[in-house]
């Protein structure tokens, strides 16, 4: 499907950026606002028959959510380095990483590509990194089957967590 970009202009730039693209699709001119977001990582941290999840307040949702550990990739980091850093910050562990999948979180308006890993052989870290200012995390160990049930009954509402947990459950790495 040929797409011709006519114009792309920045509307806002900060931690996130917003741009407006004007392009031709199917012979028609279209305008679309695009949120530019760094790539990110998500981790299915496996401990025996359980997974390590985090409970944290999410301002955009206006509520506390149960999620897999996750975060953005910082400048100069590989996805693997970012995953290890996020595990350290959020759950106080390191481990062995294997890629599970990658996906766009909201490709209708957002550029964020998430790299999802499975972490095994978890080891506690003595001198943990500092959490980000907007994080107030409670770590929770949940049986994998119970986590899958929570995905299916709406108790886990975060799409990256639902997708990652169901993908891991159906295809353990």
Is residue 78 located within the same domain as residue 124? yes
List 105's β-bridge partners, or say none: none
By mean pLDDT, which of 19-33, 40-54, 84-98, 134-148 is the weakest? 134-148
Backbone dihedral angles phi then psi of residue 171, each to the nearest 5 degrees:
-150, 70
Whether residue 78 is contained in a domain is answered as yes
- What is the b/e burial string over 83-96, where b = at least 16 CB atoms within 10 angstroms of the residue's CB? bbbbbbbbbbbbbe
pTM of the predicted protein model: 0.91
For the chain, the farthest-separated pair of C-alpha atoms sits apart, in whole angstroms, at 59
Containing domain of residue 87, as a range?
A: 40-102+115-170
Helix (H) or strand (E) holding 124: strand 113-124
Is residue 13 located within the same domain as residue 62? no
Whether residue 108 is contained in a domain is answered as no
pLDDT of 1 > 70? The answer is yes
Strands 70-72 and 93-104: unpaired
Which tens digit of pLDDT belongs to each residue from 143-163? 999 999 999 999 999 999 999
Which tens digit of pLDDT belongs to each residue from 79-132? 999 999 999 999 999 999 999 999 999 999 999 999 999 999 999 987 766 666
Whether residue 107 is contained in a domain is answered as no
- What is the b/e burial string over 51-66, where b = at least 16 CB atoms within 10 angstroms of the residue's CB? bbbbebeeeeeeeebb
Is residue 58 located within the same domain as residue 120? yes
């Amino acid at each position: 499907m040929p797409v011709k970009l006519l114009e792309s202009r920045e509307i806002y730039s900060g931690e996130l950026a917003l741009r407006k693209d004007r392009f031709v699709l199917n012979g028609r001119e279209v305008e679309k606002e695009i949120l530019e977001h760094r790539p990110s990582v998500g981790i299915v941290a496996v401990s025996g028959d359980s997974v390590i999840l985090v409970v944290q307040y999410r301002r955009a949702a206006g509520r506390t959510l149960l999620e897999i550990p996750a975060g953005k990739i910082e400048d100069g980091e590989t996805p693997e380095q970012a995953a290890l850093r996020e595990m350290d910050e959020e759950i106080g562990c390191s481990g062995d990483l294997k890629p599970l999948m990658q996906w766009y979180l909201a490709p209708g308006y957002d550029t964020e590509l998430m790299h999802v890993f499975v972490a095994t052989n978890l080891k506690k870290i003595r001198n943990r990194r500092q959490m980000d200012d907007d994080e107030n995390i409670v770590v929770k160990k949940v049986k994998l089957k119970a986590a899958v049930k929570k995905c299916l009954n709406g108790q886990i509402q975060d799409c990256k967590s639902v997708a990652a947990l169901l993908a891991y459950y159906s295809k353990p790495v």
